[in-house]
Structure 1
Amino acid sequence: MDDTSTPIACMTLHPGFEAVCLNIRIYVLQTALNIYRADYGPLRERGYERRCRHLAYRSFVSWCWGYLGRKVRVVLPACVVLRIRREFPDTEGQYVGFRAALA
């Protein structure tokens, strides 16, 4: 059990962040991909880094909030977005950012 008495200034400093959101080597992101495929079919993102970024964001959301859904969205903390982008960079620098839910 984590020590919750000491607040963490940034989620990227949490001891579980790297294992849950970044570490492809321990198959967390591979598991997220398998769950995504089971729920939605193939991930249509092109390129290894882009797929990993997508799965890292989904893993973070799942870790913090559980399932949000198509109409329920949250803005991820900037520190998390920047850390995931640094780990899985877009070689063209074309990041999308937050998209509001469609009506």
Structure 2
Amino acid sequence: LPPSLPMSSPSSSCTCGNCARMPTEAENVCCKEIPPVKINIRCTPVSCMTLHPGLEPVCLNIYSLQNALNIYRADYGPLRDRGYERRCRHLAYRSFVSWCWGYLGRKVRVVVPACVVLRIRREFPDTEGQYVGFRAALG
């Protein structure tokens, strides 16, 4: 299924038409601004990463996320249980980063485009609308 329209009007830096204003400047980035993501977009005739045919099977499919969880557990041990939807969002973001950037290493983080964050949040919503957002790596 195609993603629904943005939750609010696109941010001023958005060129894909599917981003919305995020809480911090670091998070206000469009999929067309990030070179590793742009490469994936160019491989298909889509205007936004949320429309890429690989997004659903790689980042939103529960079986792919279960596999990502198994890999995570093998590398890092158990993932803290903070609820099904939050775990799915975490794994979806990790899967997206792995797909676009490859392995980054421990404590290396990158910003996921706002449009992709919103798409993942729509698929795995927090019942109270409370989301963590991007956190820079510590140490």
Do the two structures share a fold, i.e. TM-score over 0.5?
yes
Question: Would you say the 8 A contact 1:70–1:101 is kept in 2?
Answer: no
**Counterpart check, 1:69 vs 2:105:** yes
Instruction: State how far apart, in whole Å, the 2-side matches of 1:99 and 1:70 are.
Output: 14
Give, in whole Å, the separation in 1 of the partners of 2:104 and 2:48. Answer: 21
- Could you tell me how far 1:39 is from its partner in structure 2? 0.6
The counterpart of 2:89, out of the listed 35, 50, 53, is: 53
Matches of 1:8 and 1:73, distance apart in 2: 26
Residues 74, 7 of structure 1: alpha-carbon distance in 2 compared, 3 angstrom cutoff = farther
On the 8 A contact 1:29/1:56 being kept in 2, the answer is yes
Unaligned stretches of 5+ residues in structure 2: 1-43
Cα distance in 1 for residues equivalent to 2:138 and 2:45: 35
* 1:7 CA drift (Å): 5.2
Q: Cα deviations across residues 11-34 of structure 1 (Å, max 9, x unaligned)?
A: 1111111110001xx611110000
Q: CA deviation at 1:70?
A: 3.4
1:28-78: CA deviation from partner (whole Å, max 9, x where unpaired):
111000000001111104111111111111110111111123342211111
Unaligned 5+ segments in structure 1 are 1-5
Q: Tell me how far apart the structure 2 counterparts of residues 46 and 72 of structure 1 sit (CA, whole Å).
A: 22
Q: What is the RMSD of the two structures over their aligned residues, measured on CA atoms? A: 1.5
User: Which of 120, 126, 135 is matched with 1:84 structurally?
Assistant: 120
- Work out the CA distance in 1 between the residues paired with 2:99 and 2:51: 15
Identity %: 91
Distance 1:66 1:81 in 2: 18
Equivalent pairs counted in the alignment come to 96
Calculate the TM-score normalised by the size of structure 1: 0.85
TM-score by length of 2: 0.64
Deviates more, 1:63-72 or 1:33-42: 63-72
